[in-house]
Structure 1
Amino acid sequence: MTEAVTADVYPLSPRNQVKRRHDRGFYDHATVHGLLDASMLCHVSYVIDGQPYCTPTFFWREGSRLYWHGSSASRMLRNQSEGQRVCLTVAHLDSLVLARCGFNHSADYRAVMAFGTAYLVTDPVEKERALVAMVDRFFPDRTASLRQSTAQEIKATSVVAMEIEQASAKIRSKGVADDDEDYELPVYAERIPVRTVLGRPEPCPRLLDGVERPASLSGYSEGRLLEDALRDAHFAHYAGG
């Protein structure tokens, strides 16, 4: 998929403009897409009959379009199939910040809010491609080695897509930031880095003899940052798209 060709920055309006601390706001595709591609879990917010909901789900990006999936019986997917306006968010927690007063306690983070109108993917070709990407975007080329999904399994799975109309990223990376006079106080302060790190793979105990871990999973190795593995997988599947 190609990126939006009109500009490399998402249009700005009161809907997506960062209201507080404008210096932390970013609207360029590179920043927004980079943070999206470093995650597989998002939260999708929407309103049904005046009641707000927020649903966590796996998602992936193709160009300026986002996809997510779930059970065909899902209330979220049933309502979003009719052109529901939604806000999709991701967040990366980078550190806990302990300052010299409660007001300045904080966290370093990177977050994205993406706005658009969700629609149910009904075109058979797009849905088939999306169901492959649902696996291969995270684990490149894996679908080709799997049992083919049955017609019932495909029917039971719905895919929703959303073209990103507007988006913004917000980033805090300053660590401890006390008032100047507070640095003279005998109060301990620190920044505690937070990382999501992959553990040692645990092969299924019912593997058949001779079945080895494929080389395509080498990016998911013990001690590696999850976000690095996800970015590399995205690049491998979409060739940098």
Structure 2
Amino acid sequence: MGAEREASVESGRRSRGLLGSLVEIGIIAVTAILLAVVIKTFLAQAFYIPSESMQPGLEVNDRVLVEKPSYWTGTPERGDVVVFADPGDWLATNQVPPAPTGFRAVLAKVGLYPTGDHLVKRVIGVAGDTVECCDSGRIVVNGTPLDESSFIAPTDTCDGPMAQDNGSYVKGGCRGWKAVVPEGRLFVMGDNRANSADSSFHLCSPKRQKSDDPACGNAFVPVSDVVGRVTVVFWPTDRFGLERRPETFESLD
């Protein structure tokens, strides 16, 4: 009888021990998920590069980490590579990747699985800036030509050839254009200027800009749509590297 009682007590201890372990595992899992959500919301988030528009610095399917604290009290600066939500039909249907499913979808929700439903470009102009193409083939910001040779893809004629037939003019072999960045907006461009549907691509003609056509705002990215600044390529490992603001932007007022 005593042996049976001891066996029953031991079984109860094991049950309570197992239950306690399960509760502990559950608490750890919930804490980890909450911590991941906090990190995604306030600190950092993973994305992958869906197109060739940021070559050579960022290649298709590179995984990058975007940090957010830089813009807690400030705004994106010229030269920053930023990830932002589509400001209005910039992403073609075939550029939007299928949504992750299963466990990957859960990881994406907490920022641990890279997503590709945003865009990544370099900030060229901020509110109040005048951005123009071109001076001897170079993009001009507030009258200062940018030396972008160290980070953009090589071009045959100029550093801003993607502007469409939207009233632009030919100047030195380039399509000329000019824009003043509105308050609360950014003028962004891809580093692969021959293959980037960016602000210059969506820019209205000078005449339409002066008419205050609402559609012309589509060329500029709202600061509120910016998720954060690209700081590091973390995958593939052989391309691991930090993303820094080019020195040429330091010369701008």
Larger-gyration structure (1/2): 2
Same fold at TM > 0.5: no
Q: TM-score, normalised by structure 1?
A: 0.27
In terms of fraction of residues, the more helix-rich structure is: 2
